[in-house]
Amino acid sequence: MVEDRRLGDAIAYVILTIGVLIVAFPVWLTFVASTWDAATVINGQMPLYPGPYFFENYNRILFIGSSRTTREPVIGMMLNSFVMAMAIALGKIFISVLSAYAVVYYRFPFRMAAFWIIFVTLMLPVEVRIFPTFKIVSDLNMLDTYQGLAIPLIASATGTLLFRQFFMTVPDELLEASKIDGAGPFKFFKDTLLPLSMTTIAALFVIQFIYGWNQYLWPLLVTTKDSMQTIVIAIKKMIVTADALTEWQLAMATAMLAMLPPVLVVIAMQRLFVKGLVETEK
Amino acid sequence: MAQVTLNSVKKVYAGGVEAVKGVSFDIPDGGFCVLVGPSGCGKSTLLRMVAGLETISAGEVAIGSRVVNQVEPADRDIAMVFQNYALYPHMSVYENMAYGLRNRGTPKEEIEKRVKEAAKILAIEALLERRPRQLSGGQRQRVAMGRAIVRKPQVFLFDEPLSNLDAKLRVQMRVEIKKLQRSLGVTSIYVTHDQVEAMTLSDKLVVMNAGQVEQIGLPAEVYRKPASKFVATFIGSPPMNILPGAVDGHGIVALGDTIIEARDLREDLAAQTSVEVGLRPEDVEIASEGQAGSLPFDVEFIEELGATQLFHGKLGGQPFVMQAATGDVAAQEGRLWITVDPDKVHVFDPKTGTRLGKE
């Protein structure tokens, strides 16, 4: 029996290792490519270990910018991406937690109708309604602004749905105890419901931050100035297909940098996730 | 402290379901009133109307001299202990107890004093920094009580507070609740479906059925003189035996072939009126064969309860249960002869279920 388990463990490790290698290899390759000079990357014989150009490449892309295609330093684009992703994530959480609270706890006329209208927007993502949305943003003079980047992506049925499901699992007795303890609707929301929703909020934040960070089509449409570009667009612009030579080492460095904030968010929020899983707060 | 008065209180839900059909009674200042009944009888709804968690469809609820129909729960000067404790999971025990006071703007020192006091009474001083999930069921129950105590309310409301505890803890907490209520002297309303809790805790027992009050009285009174067949079979364990019978007009009730005497029987009943006869399992005495008034009881099986034994069998062809102290009767199946104290024979109208006793 003991032998058997060891063998099973070994097989599991082998499979896991293969899986990790498959996932990690492209990332490693990207990193390695970002530490060599253009010639080494281009000639097709790039070594699989990091080269000596790490500081030079990253310094150049972060603070000076790629000379050929995008003239802006990447640090500014990272800031744009960060502002947009944060605005989308926080805005979505704010709006969906409030609308879910209204739908679950208030008995107003056409409550279910309101809920279903929110629900139906799940079928209308930005891509489907992109022209009217662009028209509105442009009429409101929000092209090339952070508002224009973030607000149309904030409306979200997913978040409302998620919070609604969570609120419905909160026992009614808690609301009643709050009433007797003299907490009004807002106090109940602030003192009881929000603290209990912390893990749900963290989950939604991670998902929505990455969603916002990865946006491509919408920022491409509403930004025309280089200074308002997001980093995802920058990567695309650096990879030129026509008459110019792609500076692969810089494109790879940008890709590495673009990966960094989502990874940091996941790592930071992971602790809240685990806490939410281990200690059930209900 | 205050008395609680209910005056023809009704609850009609949207859709026309009448959960409470006009209930009136009052609870004196410092009294312990228990509402008991089967599930769905409206007892919880009634309590929640007193708490202000349900609107009152008709009638009046008054706490002290103030009618509270339109008063918010927080302003009714009540405290409630819920079945599932309803502690705030994200707050420590201390914060749970302090929350209501903080919302009222009670000064910090006063809150601390009151919480410490309550924690001392309930022996949960060591738990003040813990979260509810780190507590056992009994400890959570104490915290829920503590949250009620610190408020120093005029009325305590208990909604089946012990039903989530195991049997042993339930007995222990029952005694503690009673002691606590006595020492604090706060008017209390307690809802339960457990007739033992109802009997032991109350000094005013309200038995409810189908949205109506069946009987109100001291627990012993309700037990001795149940106002209806429903109360008779609901209060008491094992429940009262109900047998079909007929009266002969002279205080004699016939159970098929056998005849027993009932002293507490209305005299105006016509002979041959069919009735239902109630006999409590413990109100039966063992007799010897041929003794005057003795009835044959065919025992089919015996349940051993330790101090007592339950004899299941047939009396006059009807199912019957008798309870006797262990050792009083040889525990064997077969025919036994029993006598019945005429004072302890209950007679009910088979149609309405009301008691046919003397006024």
Q: Which of A171, A187, A195 sits opposite B90 (nearest CB)?
A: A195
**Nearest CA of chain A to the CA of B53: how many Å?**
7
Q: Which residues contact A15 (CB under 8 A, 6 or more apart)?
A: none
Q: Which amino acid is at A15?
A: I
- Could you report the per-residue pLDDT of B206-218, keeping only the tens digit for each? 999 999 999 999 9
- Chain B residues whose CB is inside 8 A of the A183 CB are 74, 99, 103
Taking each helix axis from N to C end, the angle separating A74-105 and A248-278, rounded to the nearest 10 degrees, works out to: 30
- Chain A residues whose CB is inside 8 A of the B52 CB are 179-180
> A281 — contact with chain B (CB < 8 Å)?
yes
pLDDT at residue A271, as a whole number: 79
**Nearest CA of chain B to the CA of A161: how many Å?**
23
The answer to whether A180 contacts B104, with C-beta atoms less than 8 Å apart, is no
Cα distances (Å, whole numbers) of residue A275 to A191, A202, A203, B13: 20, 11, 12, 42
- Could you report the per-residue pLDDT of B28-74, keeping only the tens digit for each? 999 999 999 998 899 999 999 999 999 999 999 999 889 999 999 98
- Chain A residues whose CB is inside 8 A of the B86 CB are 171, 173-174, 176-177
CATH homologous superfamily of A74-278 = MetI-like (1.10.3720.10)
Q: Is residue B222 within 8 Å of B207, Cβ to Cβ?
A: yes
Selected residue with higher pLDDT from B267 and B349: B349
Q: Is residue B131 within 8 Å of B54, Cβ to Cβ?
A: no
pLDDT at residue A48, as a whole number: 87
The answer to whether A192 contacts B90, with C-beta atoms less than 8 Å apart, is yes
pLDDT at residue A282, as a whole number: 43
The answer to whether B53 contacts A280, with C-beta atoms less than 8 Å apart, is no
The answer to whether B103 contacts A187, with C-beta atoms less than 8 Å apart, is yes
> A187 — contact with chain B (CB < 8 Å)?
yes
For A183, name the nearest residue in chain B, comparing CA atoms only. Answer: B103
Cα distances (Å, whole numbers) of residue B139 to B85, B128, B314, B323: 10, 11, 46, 37
Residue B285: Cβ-neighbour burial (10 angstroms; 0-12, 13-18, 19+): middle
Q: Is residue B49 within 8 Å of B59, Cβ to Cβ?
A: no
Domain segments of chain A: what residues? 2-63, 74-278
The answer to whether B88 contacts A192, with C-beta atoms less than 8 Å apart, is yes
- Picking from A246, A253, A247, A207, the residue whose alpha carbon sits closest to that of residue A231 is A253
The answer to whether A179 contacts B88, with C-beta atoms less than 8 Å apart, is no
Selected residue with higher pLDDT from A129 and B290: A129
For A278, name the nearest residue in chain B, comparing CA atoms only. Answer: B133
- Could you report the per-residue pLDDT of B100-151, keeping only the tens digit for each? 999 988 899 999 999 999 999 888 989 999 999 899 888 999 999 999 999 8
Phi, psi of B238 (to 5 degrees): -65, 160
pLDDT at residue B156, as a whole number: 93
- Domains in chain B and their CATH numbers? 4-233 (3.40.50.300), 252-348 (2.40.50.140)
pLDDT at residue A83, as a whole number: 94
- Could you report the per-residue pLDDT of B143-172, keeping only the tens digit for each? 999 999 998 899 999 999 998 888 888 898
ipTM value > 0.90? no
For A194, name the nearest residue in chain B, comparing CA atoms only. Answer: B90
Q: Which residues contact A24 (CB under 8 A, 6 or more apart)?
A: none
Q: Which residues contact B246 (CB under 8 A, 6 or more apart)?
A: B253, B254, B272, B273, B274, B275
Selected for mutation to probe chain A from B55, B81, B88 (highest A CB count within 10 Å) is B88
For A279, name the nearest residue in chain B, comparing CA atoms only. Answer: B133
* End-to-end Cα spacing for chain B: 35
Helices (H) and strands (E) in chain A, counts: 14, 0
Q: Is residue B273 within 8 Å of B246, Cβ to Cβ?
A: yes
Q: Which amino acid is at B338?
A: I
Residues of chain A with pLDDT under 70: 1-4, 66-71, 241-244, 273-282
Q: Which of A181, A191, A192 sits opposite B74 (nearest CB)?
A: A181
For A192, name the nearest residue in chain B, comparing CA atoms only. Answer: B88
- Could you report the per-residue pLDDT of B174-207, keeping only the tens digit for each? 998 999 999 999 999 999 998 889 999 999 999 9
**Nearest CA of chain A to the CA of B80: how many Å?**
7
For B148, name the nearest residue in chain A, comparing CA atoms only. Answer: A181
> A279 — contact with chain B (CB < 8 Å)?
yes
For B53, name the nearest residue in chain A, comparing CA atoms only. Answer: A176
* Maximum alpha-carbon separation in chain A: 75
Taking each helix axis from N to C end, the angle separating A74-105 and A111-120, rounded to the nearest 10 degrees, works out to: 150
pLDDT at residue B288, as a whole number: 80
- Chain A residues whose CB is inside 8 A of the B80 CB are 176-177, 180
- Could you report the per-residue pLDDT of B235-270, keeping only the tens digit for each? 988 899 998 888 876 666 767 667 777 777 777 777
> A176 — contact with chain B (CB < 8 Å)?
yes
